[in-house]
Structure 1
Amino acid sequence: MSQATKAVAPRVPQGKLFIAGGWRDASDGSTRATVNPADGSEITQVAQATAVDVDAAVAAARAAFTEGPWPRLDVHARARLLTRVAELAERDQGELAYLESVDMGKPIMFSSTVDAPIASQILHYFAGAVARLDGSVRGAATGTLNYTLREPLGVVAPITPFNFPLLLSLTKIAPALAAGNTVIHKPSPATPLTALKMAELFAEAGFPDGVMNVLTGPGVELGEALVVHPGIDKIAFTGSTEVGKSIIRKSADTLKKTTMELGGKSPNIIFADADLDAAVQHAFFGIFYNKGEICTAGSRLLVQREVYDQVLEALVAQAVAVVPGDPLDPATFFGPLAHRGQFEKVSSYVEIGQSEGAKLVAGGRPFHPTATPDGGLYYLPTIFADVDNAMRIAQEEIFGPVLCVIPFDTEEQALQIANGTAFGLASGVHTRDIKKAHRVAAGLKAGTVWINTYNQFDTTTPFGGYKASGFGRESGSEVLENYTQLKSVWVDLS
């Protein structure tokens, strides 16, 4: 790649904790490197928060909620501050995109055209939602007036993952702030840089001290300290189902509100009457976008037997043509996996698939770019054919570029296979028959159904799962219910 095509590195945000409107070291001074997955190089050292720092952040957030101006600001003032952050995020889109790419391995073609622009869109949307937090007057007996008020919860702690660090943080932070809550954000220890950059922007926008706090540090220890802390009112989590279950159990003693956006093993169904060229493109993008590190990945591709060989051949041809590359090269579609643990997980599941008897027809091994023969967490797009839905690779979330292709014969069989996992996050249907499309959409046990497309999202539209894929919704006006509580007021008019 020529020097002219490389993105220019902006300033990396300081790797400190952001508490009460200021930057500080961890209480014990500890730090840890955040690493570029493309070559294994250290980007910067990041503070590792302790339980002492959690106490400090909770005290700051609680004071900002109970004594500070934020929950008592009129809706116009709160909306103006959120709008200002959105404008600053627009100004610094290039920097946000760069940080997302070097920290997570996301190709710059996506971080600059999807993640960074949508970040400011989310903030603008919830700035506009502030004024929609209204109650209603209810009918009552003669001589009384009863009405409802929608009020903030208090201190909210978003715990967010490594795969979409910027967007999955803001889908929690923005509605929490719009509703008048204060926030303590714990980003993934693997990808903290855009969280620290956003803390800078909230400070620059003029948010009151303590309204927005960011704690970086070890995932399990820091997450547990937040979950069990009595001063936190809500946990908003995106991550694996097992971790989500643990958070629910550990939050029970303090009766925290929780919302869970958890894992998936999403079915993507191609019927024989589909536009096969378009369906193959959506299937390819559905699993290999973001290197498969996306909870909605169409990792189980169900193909009607009449067109099974044709679809499989087309997918394999596309997969073997992919050459992973430098995430900062604008031409790169497929970058490295986000961190070493994920690389090892994907590798182990490929071995499991082969041992289970699935037919490996593409990929199935690491890739070492010429520039970094001994570095980089690259794994080739991988396809297994003739998969049985009972296999572990079809039942368990791999969270990587591994596609399981499963044949089916009838519409009824397709639904049985599609619904035959513990998960229910997303799904896809490809057919020219509009009646069939709606029948199958109604029969799928999933929070999202895409028809003749895949992986479409919008800030206006709620997103979340069924079954083991969690509860609560992200985005849309519905999400504000997750960050508010309802009060009923009765007035005697006699």
Structure 2
Amino acid sequence: MTDVLPLRATAIAQDGLFIGGRWTGATHDRVYATVNPADGTVITDVADGSAADIDAAVRAARRAFDEGPWPRMSGHERARILLAAADLIERDAEELARLDTADMGKPLAFTRIENGFFAPAIYRYYAGLASQMSGTTHDSVGSAFAYTLREPIGVIGAITPFNVPLLLATTKLAPALAAGNTIVHKPSETTPLSALKIARLLAEAGLPEGVLNVVTGTGAAPGIALVAHPGVDKIAFTGSNLVGQEIIRASADTLKKVSVELGGKSANIIFADAYLDEAIDHAFNGIFYGSGQVCVAGSRLLVQRPVYDQVVETLARRAEATLPGDPLDPGTVIGPLAHQLQFEKVSSYVRIGLDEGAELVTGGQPHHPQGSDSGWYYRPTIFKGRNDMRIAQEEIFGPVITVIPFDTDEEAVALANGTKFGLASAVHTRDIKRAHSIAAAMRAGTCWINTYAQWDPGISFGGRKASGYGRELGPEVMHSYSETKSVWVDLPVGPDAALGGDLSL
């Protein structure tokens, strides 16, 4: 490794669980190891929370919502604390970046941007919306005047994945807090460290006790307990399609609100008239950023036949020249996969692709950086294939792309929409009419034109079909974390009403 691990990682983990504004050990003092995927070494031991710990956290969040000041503060007061949190995240951005790099293997060059720039930007954006939780007024209806209020939902259960640990937690925590909710956060068991650090920073910013609770833990039990708990009013989940379906089913007994941002198999379309150099850059970054462990990864590259061979050859040369490396090296573009199970999943899908008859252009095997014989590294992998293959239909969540030829606009749209997923899409062309017509035809929550994976806190994000429902980011998400209350006010009626009452003798 080119640099030391985060110096405070062990101290942060030893704090334990964050419940009711205090640090505490897990039930029976259980712990588990969080492992650096770059070399397989143990970073530190983390509290292994149970259903009992989830119950304690929910009760703390419930008290903070029902009795505490946070939901009763003005939006301006909440904004002040969120802005302070943004400043603290910027202050400790390097530590937060190193925690996520050590925990999940994403190159430091990327975690510095995600945690040091994007995360504070999201907190600042929702601080700006905290005071805009306004309802509407209505003309008198019969003998009444009516208006609506926007109120916080209550206790939010936030369950976040391993691939973008701090940022995907931020997209839930910031708007939920801005709306006045309290939260129990269950981070991924493989990447818990930045969640614990954020709990400390939010407390330092002035967040009242019990408003944010963080329970780390292994296995399905803590998440199941959170979803089933009657004290939780909404679940906000990002993760796999299968787990999302289980959460939706489990939430039915308590009629919780649920928003789920699930997997994708996003189509990235390159037409023959595209600016090819830029399109190939976007195709490369769209699949190999984060070693392909990104929900919007452009894992299906649809290329118009006249430029198909050129695009494949150019993309392959670049992939072969960009081997995985030490994620703490600022020059590394591709790091290891986040954990062993993910490595095994990617390896199995490469075998499936070969068995299906896909043509392996490059990659398809593990890789160890120079001087290393450990870590979950996998070479950037490119297949030529068909849209009906499993490698083109199922989410691999790794550095594997299937390049599929097409001829016409109609065929491109049919291929792009020809999966159960609908998270993201892209189209590269110089024809503005074609660009907008293709974007309109895509059954996906996002479509990029002549770019890929751009975002802004003010633009909503989410999926269609099996990619889930509900939105994150943008002003729309504030409705996901608030309820509408209608208020009716009886008004006096009749000719004597203006004089203050009944004047009859």
Q: TM-score, normalising length from structure 1? A: 0.98
Rounded to whole Å, the distance in 2 between the matches of 1:257 and 1:340 is 33
What residue in structure 1 maps to residue 315 of structure 2? 315
Q: Is the 8 A contact 1:188 1:219 kept in 2?
A: no
Please give the residue correspondences for 1:49-68 in structure 2 after superposition, counting only pairs within 5 Å: 49-68=49-68
Rounded to whole Å, the distance in 2 between the matches of 1:252 and 1:60 is 23
What residue in structure 1 maps to residue 503 of structure 2? none
What residue in structure 1 maps to residue 166 of structure 2? 166
Task: List runs of 5+ in structure 2 lacking aligned partners.
Answer: 493-505
What residue in structure 2 maps to residue 208 of structure 1? 208
Q: Is the partner of 1:378 in helix, strand or coil? A: coil
Structure 1 residues 215-253: Cα deviation after superposition (integer angstroms, max 9, x where no partner): 000241111010111010100000011110000001100
What residue in structure 2 maps to residue 432 of structure 1? 430
Rounded to whole Å, the distance in 1 between the matches of 2:120 and 2:155 is 23
Picking from 446, 462, 465, the partner of 2:463 is 465
Rounded to whole Å, the distance in 2 between the matches of 1:116 and 1:381 is 27
Q: Is the 8 A contact 2:125 2:457 kept in 1?
A: yes
Q: Is the partner of 1:302 in helix, strand or coil? A: strand
Q: Is the partner of 1:379 in helix, strand or coil? A: coil
Structure 1 residues 290-319: Cα deviation after superposition (integer angstroms, max 9, x where no partner): 110000000000000011001011000000
Q: Is the 8 A contact 1:10 1:98 kept in 2?
A: no
2:371 alignment partner AA: A
What residue in structure 2 maps to residue 18 of structure 1? 18
Structure 1 residues 426-480: Cα deviation after superposition (integer angstroms, max 9, x where no partner): 0010000000000100000000000000011111100000100000000011000
The change in CA–CA distance for 1:281 and 1:245 in structure 2 (over 3 A counts) is same
Please give the residue correspondences for 1:223-238 in structure 2 after superposition, counting only pairs within 5 Å: 223-238=223-238
Q: Is the 8 A contact 1:146 1:489 kept in 2?
A: yes
1:376 alignment partner AA: G
| Aligned-pair CA distance for 1:142 | 4.3
Q: Is the partner of 1:185 in helix, strand or coil? A: strand
Q: Is the partner of 2:383 in helix, strand or coil? A: strand
What residue in structure 1 maps to residue 282 of structure 2? 282
After the TM superposition, which segments of 4 or more aligned residues of structure 1 sit over 4 Å from their partners? none
RMSD: 1.0
| Aligned-pair CA distance for 1:9 | 3.2
Q: Is the partner of 1:227 in helix, strand or coil? A: helix
What residue in structure 2 maps to residue 182 of structure 1? 182
What residue in structure 2 maps to residue 361 of structure 1? 361
What residue in structure 1 maps to residue 77 of structure 2? 77
Q: TM-score, normalising length from structure 2? A: 0.96
What residue in structure 2 maps to residue 9 of structure 1? 6
Q: Is the partner of 2:29 in helix, strand or coil? A: coil
Rounded to whole Å, the distance in 2 between the matches of 1:435 and 1:135 is 39
Task: List runs of 5+ in structure 1 lacking aligned partners.
Answer: none
The change in CA–CA distance for 1:7 and 1:279 in structure 2 (over 3 A counts) is farther
Q: Is the 8 A contact 1:316 1:361 kept in 2?
A: yes
Q: Is the 8 A contact 1:62 1:154 kept in 2?
A: yes
Structure of larger gyration radius? 2
Q: Is the 8 A contact 2:155 2:234 kept in 1?
A: yes
Structure 1 residues 240-281: Cα deviation after superposition (integer angstroms, max 9, x where no partner): 111100000011000000001000000000000101111111
Rounded to whole Å, the distance in 2 between the matches of 1:297 and 1:140 is 51
1:11 alignment partner AA: R
Q: Is the partner of 1:366 in helix, strand or coil? A: coil
Structure 1 residues 74-132: Cα deviation after superposition (integer angstroms, max 9, x where no partner): 22211111111111001001111110110010101111123331111111111111011
Q: Is the 8 A contact 1:162 1:191 kept in 2?
A: yes
For this pair of structures, how many residues does the alignment match?
489
2:229 alignment partner AA: H
Q: Is the partner of 2:145 in helix, strand or coil? A: strand
Rounded to whole Å, the distance in 1 between the matches of 2:271 and 2:221 is 46
Rounded to whole Å, the distance in 2 between the matches of 1:8 and 1:237 is 29
| Aligned-pair CA distance for 1:7 | 6.1
What residue in structure 1 maps to residue 375 of structure 2? 376
Q: Is the 8 A contact 2:5 2:102 kept in 1?
A: no
Q: Is the 8 A contact 1:156 1:181 kept in 2?
A: yes
- Answering whether residue 217 of structure 2 is matched by residue 220 of structure 1, we say no
The change in CA–CA distance for 1:8 and 1:336 in structure 2 (over 3 A counts) is closer
Q: Is the partner of 1:28 in helix, strand or coil? A: helix
Q: Is the 8 A contact 2:107 2:326 kept in 1?
A: yes
The change in CA–CA distance for 1:244 and 1:362 in structure 2 (over 3 A counts) is same
Rounded to whole Å, the distance in 1 between the matches of 2:115 and 2:411 is 37
What residue in structure 1 maps to residue 399 of structure 2? 401
Rounded to whole Å, the distance in 2 between the matches of 1:239 and 1:140 is 46
Q: Is the partner of 1:486 in helix, strand or coil? A: strand
Q: Is the 8 A contact 1:28 1:50 kept in 2?
A: no
Q: Is the 8 A contact 2:62 2:231 kept in 1?
A: yes
| Aligned-pair CA distance for 1:51 | 1.4
Q: Is the 8 A contact 1:7 1:98 kept in 2?
A: no
